[in-house]
Homo-oligomer: A and B are copies of this chain.
Amino acid sequence: QRQGFPEVIYCQGKEPHQVAEIFQSLVKHNDNVLATRASDKIFNKVRHLIPQARYNDLARTIIYQKEACKTPNSKYGKVALVSAGTSDLAVAEEAFETAQVMGAPVEKFYDVGVAGIHRLLNFYDQLTEASCVIVVAGMEGALASVVGGLVDVPVIACPTSIGYGANFNGLSSMLTMLNSCASGVSVVNIDNGFGAGYQAALISKLDTR
């Protein structure tokens, strides 16, 4: 029994009514419920049963939180969430919703690509204050190395499948991140915003200095 953590439903390949039923039954015994990869069709079924459920249509997540859980845990360290291009937003938002439902305060730094390095450097001070940084990037995924070189806290790198041709649906960015020459970078699956957010929240939770 994983106390305090959300129960999570992975909606891919499940019918809307199936998800709605699972969601409802989980709400009964849990403070937080998170559904990922949820279409709006699915959300429509869910909110019928659970009107308090909230949908993020970019992230494609449905979240139910007991009132008391709605504000981030002020004791946890901050998670910085850096993402490269407009097209990576869906994955970044999945990471955001996951980390915050787990109680972590998250600060977003979106549209910060390596091809315009100065924009990233402007955020240097804010990044170095975080307990943990999530980097979401597609195409060549180089952002993780640059961020990893700047900060001295764990970086969780999440490759996305954004790109074409020799990107091979995210393979390229994933390999880039795994080969990062910066220390303190570990990697989750392609498009796994959920996994990145979860890992970052676990880490931020430790940081109660």
Contacts and interface: CB of A to CB of B under 8 A. Distances in A.
Contacts of A115: 145-146, 148-149, 180-183
A188 B181 CA distance: 11
Contacts of A196: 186
A116 B171 CA distance: 25
A166 B191 CA distance: 9
Contacts of A199: 154, 183-186
A170 B142 CA distance: 15
* Copies of this chain in the oligomer: 8
Contacts of A150: 117
Contact of A166 (B114, B116, B164, B189): B189
A2 interface: yes
- Size class of the A contact interface (CB-based, 8 Å): 35 or more
Nearest to A187: B187
A178 interface: yes
A203 B207 CA distance: 9
Interface of A: 2, 5, 8, 12-14, 77, 84-87, 113-117, 121, 131-132, 139-142, 145-146, 148-150, 152-154, 156, 159, 161-192, 194-196, 198-199, 202-203, 206-209
8 contacts: A2-B152, A14-B86, A140-B142, A140-B178, A163-B179, A165-B179, A178-B189, A178-B190
